[in-house]
Amino acid sequence: MSDPFKSLVSTLESRFSGISAKSLSGIPSELGLITSSGLKLDSFKHEIPDFLVAEWVAELELPAFSLVGTMIAPVDETGNPTGGGAPSQRTRFDFDETKIGEVRLNWSAGIKPGDRVLAVPVNGGKDAVIVCKVVSSGG
């Protein structure tokens, strides 16, 4: 059985690549580095302390897939076991294909000092909008 999450990641990467290419054609964008106090663009000698981060809202489409795991019941609202429940036998959980609207991708939660980013300078280079984090093809 193929891994549905690998397929999902591949689909998301492909779609975002197309979206980025269309939205950035003709707009000068450049690489930068997140520092402990802001953003340092490769071609701009000053650090930008208050940068902006693009917000992406998408519709997430999940294909039908199955997972194998165990269950513990009962649990409280945080998922912690209550009443001494023991794990069940290994069980297969089947999920139907579904679409989830208004999914927000929180780029800023994953950006930390040392990360390379793609940014679009605005306001004469005084501000910048980070479009995405950039990683090497090796990971």
Per-residue model confidence as pLDDT tens digits over 2-19? 666 666 666 666 666 655
**What integer is the mean pLDDT of 109-130?**
87
3-state percent breakdown (helix, strand, coil) of the chain, nearest 5: 20, 40, 40
The whole domain housing 95 covers: 4-134
Give the per-residue pLDDT at 112. Answer: 92
Residue 121 falls within a domain, yes or no? yes
CA distance 106 to 137: 22
Q: Per-residue pLDDT for 25 more than 60?
A: no
- 1 Cβ contact partners less than 8 Å away, ≥ 6 residues apart: 66
Which strand (E) or helix (H) includes residue 116?
strand 116-122
Residue 23 falls within a domain, yes or no? yes
Residue 58 falls within a domain, yes or no? yes
CA distance 1 to 101: 27
Give the per-residue pLDDT at 90. Answer: 93
* pTM (2 d.p.): 0.58
Residue 61 falls within a domain, yes or no? yes
Number of domains comprising the chain: 1
**What integer is the mean pLDDT of 35-56?**
88
Q: Per-residue pLDDT for 47 more than 80?
A: yes
Q: Per-residue pLDDT for 103 more than 80?
A: yes
**What integer is the mean pLDDT of 8-32?**
66
Residue 139 falls within a domain, yes or no? no
- Cβ atoms of 118 and 132 within 8 Å: the answer is yes
Residue 33 falls within a domain, yes or no? yes
